[in-house]
Structure 1
Amino acid sequence: MSQSTTDCPVPLVVLTGVNKYRDALHVLQDIDLTIHHGEVVAVIGPRDSGTSTLCRTINRLERIDAGTITVDGRPLPTRGRALDRLRAEIGMVFRGFHLFAHRTVLENVVLPQVTVRRTPRAVAEASARALLERVGVGAHADRYPAGLSGGQQQRVAIARALAMEPRMLLFDQPTSALDPEMTAEVLDVMHTLAAEGRTMVVATHELGFARSAAHRVLFMADGRILEDRTPEAFFSTPRSERAKDFLAAVAHH
């Protein structure tokens, strides 16, 4: 696994005093977080702890109610082309795949390159085929998403995110809709990306991935980050009672 690249003068993403409400619910509470180039950050916690919401604020799929988020020292854009460019730079992989059902696997990976990056179609197709091969679904390029397993669809979604040549990848519970065998397929791809030194923020229930691939583990509960530590430290000696209870409950499953 590559080492975290913390010698870059400007962190890639900084959240300062971030708060988010959903009606009366305080979904994110006073979040301070710095993510450096090349870091893999696993975000874990019990259900409704705010892990997915935190992930989604970083490319403004969720708006915040207070605080600031910067990317490369610049405030997160709020709309228009600047926001489109940001979302190309910060790729997102969703739990529900979000593929275009009426387009082939190949077209799902080609289309964003052509429409957002203005990549010539021939170049985009060559890139798409190479990426589909890389994530193990190259043989299915001409099929439609409905003809693929969930694990295959999620690997197509990862290829689509990679096609934009993002500087950072966000994963929002990428395996929660998958059975164990499909989960293993997707985690294999994610482990490879982590080993390449890609910047990744992964909201996940897969504690094995957090332990083996992450540089840092964030443990969240009730919208707060209660622990931000190395995997070794967090899993061996959790400090907060909530983390101890969470790990004990998981161990009994």
Structure 2
Amino acid sequence: MLVELIGVNKHFGDLHVLKDVNLTVSRGEVVVVLGPSGSGKSTLCRAINRLESIGSGRIVIDGRELPEEGKELARLRADVGMVFQSFNLFANKTILDNVTLGPIKVRGMAKDEAQTLARGLLSRVGVADQAAKYPAQLSGGQQQRVAIARALAMRPKVMLFDEPTSALDPEMVNEVLDVMTELAAEGMTMIIVTHEMGFARKAADRVVFMADGAVVEQAPPEEFFSQPRTERAKDFLSKLISH
């Protein structure tokens, strides 16, 4: 197991947003987390690299429990790449500098080596010709692909995606999903919170369905979409289909 969540609970004040969550993700597995708004999906994703603290339970990455703070947390967090809804690129740095910053500052990579790595990754996500530009000069879809390259530059063991296409114009969604589909095919371990059902069917090894802070159901995508076992999942899917 590469990622393990054991009895994870999280409260925001009186609101119980993660309820005794148990989840394991194997090396090379692609897990898509679905569920209605407010079900705890994004909080789960952010808790896996301690962007959100947890109230109780354990989170283990590649056999090592996530500490709450300090240098050890920084080291473990470097193994967990994260791509957000908003691109979070540094506006005052070129695309190339955005991608090389982490490897140089955190991994201690030489600048030449980091630039070679970054150019290769920018090529891989289809924006090699944008390296000298600044984020504001790129489309949303291009910026999100740069964000994926930036996360990959850290050579993470697992990639987390928190609704990576929700802020994009519809015509830009597929260019980002195509990059993610390629990563899945190459064996990258991925945990993806998304509303893109077509992507979930095509790329996921397993669908995890959450509601009201709990994992309600999990199954291979074809089984989940064609024969959901719980009434909560059936209701969720029926609303998607009816709209």
- Which band: TM-score by shorter chain? over 0.9
Unaligned runs of 5+ in 2: none
Aligned residue for 1:91? 81
Q: Does 1:247 align with 2:218?
A: no
CA RMSD of aligned residues (A): 0.8
Name the TM-score, length of structure 1 as normaliser. Answer: 0.94
SS at structure 2 position matched to 1:14: strand
Distance of 2:130 and 2:43 partners within structure 1: 32
Mapping 1:30-179, distance limit 5 Å: 30-179=20-169
Which letter maps to 2:86? G
Percent of paired sites with the same residue: 62
SS at structure 2 position matched to 1:16: strand
Name the TM-score, length of structure 2 as normaliser. Answer: 0.98
SS at structure 2 position matched to 1:67: strand
Which letter maps to 1:171? F
Task: Return the match for 2:209 from 213, 216, 219.
Answer: 219
Aligned residue for 2:196? 206
Q: Tell me whether 68-77 or 18-27 shows the greater mean CA deviation.
A: 68-77
Count of residue pairs brought into register by the alignment: 243
SS at structure 1 position matched to 2:78: helix
Distance of 1:210 and 1:128 partners within structure 2: 28
SS at structure 2 position matched to 1:110: helix
Q: Does 1:24 align with 2:8?
A: no
Q: CA deviation at 1:242?
A: 1.4
Distance of 1:101 and 1:195 partners within structure 2: 31
Distance of 2:65 and 2:73 partners within structure 1: 11
SS at structure 2 position matched to 1:61: coil
After the TM superposition, list the runs of 4 or more consecutive aligned residues in structure 1 that deviate by more than 2 angstroms.
none
Distance of 1:91 and 1:194 partners within structure 2: 14
SS at structure 2 position matched to 1:217: strand
Q: CA deviation at 1:73?
A: 2.1
SS at structure 2 position matched to 1:205: coil
SS at structure 2 position matched to 1:200: strand
